[in-house]
Structure 1
């Protein structure tokens, strides 16, 4: 399954490290870590399926001692002359009582700008599926989870990281949504609450 990310502005997925003059940095070799992609898709699936179907979330995304049968590939930005760029943005912390800048609370952080506005990544099956759900059901869950992702990284209240995701095969159409609704209509399997 190929997922297309549509960027609606710059984004920042921080490394947790700082450098002189920068309070937050991005990984220049992997601007969008695959673990972040899997994480936001899993969170989206949980919003769609919990609390009724935790077993489906575990089957598709994995759990302790139960790895996911799916692999999230690296993000490839749309071709063209302009590559994603890294710039810096300064922000200040405001005093909640006065609404003024707090002295010595200036933070400069890196962010990624995407001139092409799109990128793609693959989610590919690499292992046997757990018993109970067929591949088309897994793909429907993955497609709906991708469609539910609208944010990526930090700084969203400051206008960073707003995205949308689409898939081509399967697309999120009435048939795909029927699969998801069918899962929710089924009773939760024995022991499927955690």
Structure 2
């Protein structure tokens, strides 16, 4: 399955460690890791399939069996030339910044807010990197057998229905989403989300919901 991500603004998937002059840094070599994409899709599946954890585990893996699917990190196709806002500080840090060759990474200052009052905290000016891109792509491919997890039969088409709907249900990613970062639109292909796939997904959820051991 192939998924196209369309970005509606900048995003930040931070490494968890800072660098000199930066409180939140991104991995220039892996801006949107496979583990992040899998986690986003799993969270989406859990929202779309409330009360059906075993169905989610059948597709995404769980404590007793691995997922039969593998995620790859996002690829940013050539031909992009995103334009960051004028007040963002460009930071190339060795990146190939010719138009269309890489997303643009910028540094933006922000203040830390008090969780109770929402007011800016004194001496809490933070600097974080954010990424500007038009779109990215990633694939989810089968790399293992479809195991019997004790619920209703789940064939390849059923797995793909869950994966495609989960991908389409991802609308944000990364940090500082409440500050406007990370808003996206995800479009699956092979299969694409159409009326027939949604019907298959709904029927599959009903089947598992009514199964005594699911």
Normalising to structure 2: TM-score of the pair? 0.83
Q: CA RMSD in A?
A: 1.7
Rounded to whole Å, the distance in 2 between the matches of 1:189 and 1:98 is 48
Rounded to whole Å, the distance in 1 between the matches of 2:200 and 2:117 is 52
Task: Tell me how far 1:160 sits from its aligned partner.
Answer: 0.6
Query: 1:121 — aligned with what?
Result: 138
Normalising to structure 1: TM-score of the pair? 0.91
Task: Tell me how far 1:101 sits from its aligned partner.
Answer: 3.2
Which structure 2 residues correspond to residues 158-169 of structure 1 after superposition, within 5 A? Answer: 158-169=179-190
Residues 108/55 of structure 1: CA separation in 2 closer, same or farther (3 Å cut): same
Q: State whether residues 72 and 122 of structure 1, in contact with CA within 8 Å, keep that contact through their aligned partners in structure 2.
A: yes
* Residue among 152, 156, 159 paired with 1:138: 159
Residues 99/67 of structure 1: CA separation in 2 closer, same or farther (3 Å cut): closer
**Is 1:92 aligned to residue 114 of structure 2?**
no
SS at match of 2:23: coil
Aligned residues between the structures: 189
Query: 1:55 — aligned with what?
Result: 54
**Is 1:150 aligned to residue 164 of structure 2?**
no
Rounded to whole Å, the distance in 1 between the matches of 2:6 and 2:212 is 39
Query: 1:103 — aligned with what?
Result: 122
- Structure 1, unaligned runs of 5 or more: none
Q: State whether residues 55 and 189 of structure 1, in contact with CA within 8 Å, keep that contact through their aligned partners in structure 2.
A: no
Q: State whether residues 146 and 156 of structure 2, in contact with CA within 8 Å, keep that contact through their aligned partners in structure 1.
A: yes
Query: 1:24 — aligned with what?
Result: 24
Deviations 1:45-80 (A, max 9, x none): 0001121x2221011100013110000012111212
Query: 1:185 — aligned with what?
Result: 206
